[in-house]
Amino acid sequence: SQQGEEDPQALSIQEGENATMNCSYKTSINNLQWYRQNSGRGLVHLILIRSNEREKHSGRLRVTLDTSKKSSSLLITASRAADTASYFCATGISNFGNEKLTFGTGTRLTIIP
Amino acid sequence: SAVISQKPSRDICQRGTSLTIQCQVDSQVTMMFWYRQQPGQSLTLIATANQGSEATYESGFVIDKFPISRPNLTFSTLTVSNMSPEDSSIYLCSVAITGGWNQPQHFGDGTRLSIL
């Protein structure tokens, strides 16, 4: 079963507005990562936040992590049409000495020009 | 980061046949992964492929159906065997450049596979 559940499943906003996506997970993690996927293509890594971190920024992206609630959020500020994509959270979990990612269900973001 | 090339980018196959997908990386990487993304769904890990050892398969995936090769640190193949329409998916290769934990993965553009 999927480790992460994302909310909302779909989000449509006007260009310039902020977009917030949430991710919940079930077990202990090493880290939580966010990825973007455009039109069924490959995924692009956006940001990684370690389990001992609470907040991280990268450009217009802000990610928070609350390990007590097993949840994370991704905020995209001042959205642009090019941000239209599907966004996935993925949890990094120890697996026989290595680390594997388990992906959430994804949020489909549409930015309306 | 790394540049990852997957071939073919898409294919349409007859049921009962097999297809081998190639994943080439422009630098040596420790770990390579194969994922399946069914239509409109999220990614599911098929297996982890480390050079010099057998691939490690996730629950629900078996070597007879998805044999994997990892002959060196820059290349891997995934074969989808005896295909049925249920195998219609995007298959993605990803890499973690260094081993260990807390590493991002870098993805190829995927292979879009349709089975008739």
**Interface mutation target, options A29, A100, A102, chain B, most CBs of B under 10 Å:** A100
Give B 1-60 residues with CB within 8 A of chain A.
4, 31, 33, 37, 42-45, 48, 50, 56
One-letter amino acid for residue B105 of the chain: Q
Tens digits of residue pLDDT in B7-31? 999 999 999 999 999 999 999 998 8
Counting the structural domains of chain B, the total is 1
Q: What is the residue range of A78's domain?
A: 5-112
Residues of the domain holding B29? 16-99
B6 located within any domain: no
Whether residue B11 lies inside any domain: the answer is no
Considering the domain boundaries, does residue B110 fall inside one?
Answer: no
Q: Which helix (H) or strand (E) holds B75?
A: strand B75-80
Question: So what's the pLDDT on residue B100?
Answer: 72
Tokens representing residue B25 in the block:
């990386």
- Report the pLDDT value the prediction gives residue A3, as an integer from 0 to 100: 63
A5 pLDDT band (50/70/90 cuts)?
Answer: confident
Q: Do A99 and B105 touch (CB under 8 A)?
A: no
A91 touches B102 (CB < 8 A): no
CB–CB contact B43 A98 (8 Å):
no
* CATH number for the domain that contains residue A19: 2.60.40.10
Is residue B115, in this structure, part of any structural domain at all? no
CATH of the domain at B62: 2.60.40.10
Count of domains forming chain A: 1
Which chain A residues have a beta carbon less than 8 Å from that of B46? none
Please state whether beta strands B68-72 and B75-80 pair in parallel, antiparallel, or not at all (unpaired).
Answer: antiparallel
Q: Do A12 and A112 contact (CB within 8 A), yes or no?
A: yes
Please tell me which of the candidates B37, B45, B104 has its beta carbon nearest to residue A48: B104
Asked if residue B51 is part of any domain, the answer here is: yes
- H/E run at residue B40: none
H or E stretch at A55: strand A55-58
Examine the pLDDT at A1 and tell me if it is beyond 50.
no
